Chains A and B, each alone.
Chain A
Amino acid sequence: MPSLPDMTTPNVADLAREAAQTASAHPAVPQPDAGQEAFSEMLLRLGDSTLILGHRISEWCGHSPALEEDIALANVALDLIGQTQLWLSLAGEVEGKGRSADDLAYLRDAWDFRNLLICERPNGDFGHTLMRQFLFDAWHHELLKALAASSDPRVAEIAAKAGKEVAYHLERSSDLVVRLGDGTEESHRRMQEALDDLWSYAGEMFIGDAKDAEVAARGIAPDPSTLRAAWDQTLQHVLTEATLQIPEGSFAHKGGKQGIHTEHLGYILSEMQFLQRAYPGASW
């Protein structure tokens, strides 16, 4: 499983902390008091989504149908965990309570997590995992494009970095959705079932609340609903090629962004957080 931070020795951890402290000293960043809560909340939503999805797909490590796919999923997981480190570090910095990315990842309970519900959905079969990845990547890519123009330079630079990785993720998941959707009778059936099953979890990506409105008003992040048109277009393009039927329903499960989760998150956390809970402060 990827860990935060990876491959540390006490020496490296010190170095990383030192680097993080100096890297966080951005003198030109405006720091208005009002709205910081909405800002740190937005960063948690992002970082928690990449963390939980990254952890979810890392569960495939050693179990994928082919070695190459195993490696690919583990690498996508690694990218997402790396992005998590950047987002959650910034969340802790904006929050101003001295919490590190590790503190946020390992020492919060389910109701404090702000990830999208789709990220905590069980993996299902390989096709189901890829369909979830495609729906997420298509949204993630649009989101990062918008965030790269954020009024906050710290957000913009992380988004520019992550955007390059996610463009690659989107190409990979698109390709596999087409290959499996337009594949054998069985692979087609499984991909359609995955799409139908996940559809009601996709809508949450585009539903904003008061906190989204606040960061949007400050130009930090886009209003979630504005990402929908481009996402629809990507789906239309790829799913048509994959000979899959886009479901018609518009019902959307929601609550993840507000800390109301499905039962699946608790199981993820119990595994992901076990070491830090059982042996507080343990490091490699």
Chain B
Amino acid sequence: MAAQTQPGVEEVWGWLSEVPDPEIPVISLTDLGIIRGVEWQGDTLVVRVTPTYSGCPATSVINLDIETALRRHGIEKLRLERQLTPPWTTDWISPEGREKLRAYGIAPPVDGTAADGVLAGRIARMTGTNLKIACPRCGSTHTERISQFGSTPCKASYRCKDCLEPFDYFKCI
């Protein structure tokens, strides 16, 4: 491929920011923070992707979506690499991504609430007394957890005690 036809890395990042997450299509792969690198190695475009949860079934769909999008933009030689380090956490979700989640009806992760296996803090985390998870519908923090897991590995199930709406919480890891 001739050098002048190689799109710049910034342009590729722009294309990737338009690829929706397959399970939460309101945010993009770059909002989610799972694209770890884009670079040209000779005539091959290398995109490094990190998994959210190691068993997330969306991982292979995400790879397929990336490939489809980049091929559509004329990329011929493409290699996707899995990068585990540093492991993805919800800190990688962009501020815009958090707002989009909230507008979509999913409460975004509350910083500093990740499970760390230190059981002394377990009760507070379990009962939610150290959490201020706001209902994405009415904004009330008078909410309670229904289940530690939800419709996908990255979410937990909550309920608003004021407007009574059940909702997903993007749990913090």
Across the interface, do A19 and B82 meet the contact criterion of CB distance under 8 Å? yes
A7 interface residue, CB < 8 Å from B? yes
Once bound together, how far apart are the Cα atoms of A22 and B46, in whole Å? 10
B115 interface residue, CB < 8 Å from A? yes
Number of interface residues of A (CB under 8 A): 52
Once bound together, how far apart are the Cα atoms of A78 and B154, in whole Å? 11
A149 interface residue, CB < 8 Å from B? no
Q: What per-residue 1/0 map shows which CB atoms of B29-47 lie under 8 Å from chain A?
A: 0000000000000000000
A82 touches which of B53, B80, B151 (Cβ 8 Å): B53
What's the nearest-Cβ distance from chain B to residue A247, in Å? Answer: 21
Q: What per-residue 1/0 map shows which CB atoms of A232-272 lie under 8 Å from chain B?
A: 00100110000000000000000000000000000000000
A85 touches which of B54, B87, B173 (Cβ 8 Å): B54
Across the interface, do B147 and A82 meet the contact criterion of CB distance under 8 Å? no
Q: If A72-B148, A79-B153 touch, does A237 touch B57 (CB 8 Å cutoff)?
A: no
Q: What per-residue 1/0 map shows which CB atoms of A75-94 lie under 8 Å from chain B?
A: 11011111101100000000
Q: If A8-B60, A168-B173 touch, does A23 touch B83 (CB 8 Å cutoff)?
A: yes
Interface size class of B (residues with CB under 8 A): 35 or more
Query: At the interface, is chain B mostly helix, strand, loop or mixed?
Result: loop
What's the nearest-Cβ distance from chain B to residue A46, in Å? Answer: 13
Instruction: Return the chain B residue nearest A80 by Cβ.
Output: B55
B84 touches which of A157, A167, A168 (Cβ 8 Å): A157
A16 interface residue, CB < 8 Å from B? yes
Q: What per-residue 1/0 map shows which CB atoms of B98-126 lie under 8 Å from chain A?
A: 00000000000000001111010010011
B163 interface residue, CB < 8 Å from A? no
Residues of A within 8 A of B87 (CB): 157, 160-161, 164
Across the interface, do B119 and A79 meet the contact criterion of CB distance under 8 Å? no
Q: Which of B54, B125, B147 has the most CB of A within 10 A?
A: B54
Residues of A within 8 A of B85 (CB): 153, 157, 160
Once bound together, how far apart are the Cα atoms of A3 and B114, in whole Å? 28
B21 interface residue, CB < 8 Å from A? no
Q: If A23-B83, A165-B173, A238-B119 touch, does A12 touch B60 (CB 8 Å cutoff)?
A: yes
Across the interface, do A23 and B147 meet the contact criterion of CB distance under 8 Å? no
A68 interface residue, CB < 8 Å from B? yes
What's the nearest-Cβ distance from chain A to residue B108, in Å? Answer: 17
Residues of A within 8 A of B146 (CB): 68
A71 interface residue, CB < 8 Å from B? yes
Across the interface, do A83 and B54 meet the contact criterion of CB distance under 8 Å? yes
Once bound together, how far apart are the Cα atoms of A158 and B115, in whole Å? 18
Q: If A20-B82, A165-B54, A171-B122 touch, does A12 touch B61 (CB 8 Å cutoff)?
A: yes
Q: If A78-B55, A82-B54 touch, does A22 touch B81 (CB 8 Å cutoff)?
A: yes
Once bound together, how far apart are the Cα atoms of A15 and B87, in whole Å? 21
Q: If A79-B54, A79-B55 touch, does A18 touch B80 (CB 8 Å cutoff)?
A: yes
A69 interface residue, CB < 8 Å from B? yes
A131 interface residue, CB < 8 Å from B? no
Residues of A within 8 A of B171 (CB): 168
Across the interface, do A72 and B147 meet the contact criterion of CB distance under 8 Å? yes
What's the nearest-Cβ distance from chain A to residue B73, in Å? Answer: 17
Once bound together, how far apart are the Cα atoms of A12 and B80, in whole Å? 11
Across the interface, do A19 and B54 meet the contact criterion of CB distance under 8 Å? no
Instruction: Return the chain A residue nearest B154 by Cβ.
Output: A75
**Which 3 pairs between the two chains have the least Cβ-Cβ distance?**
A82-B55, A68-B147, A82-B54
20 A-B interface contacts by CB (under 8 A): A8-B60, A19-B82, A20-B82, A23-B83, A71-B149, A78-B57, A78-B153, A79-B54, A82-B53, A82-B54, A83-B54, A85-B54, A160-B86, A161-B84, A161-B87, A167-B116, A170-B117, A171-B117, A171-B119, A238-B119
Known: A69-B147, A82-B54. 6 other contacts (CB 8 A): A19-B79, A19-B80, A68-B147, A71-B150, A79-B53, A171-B117
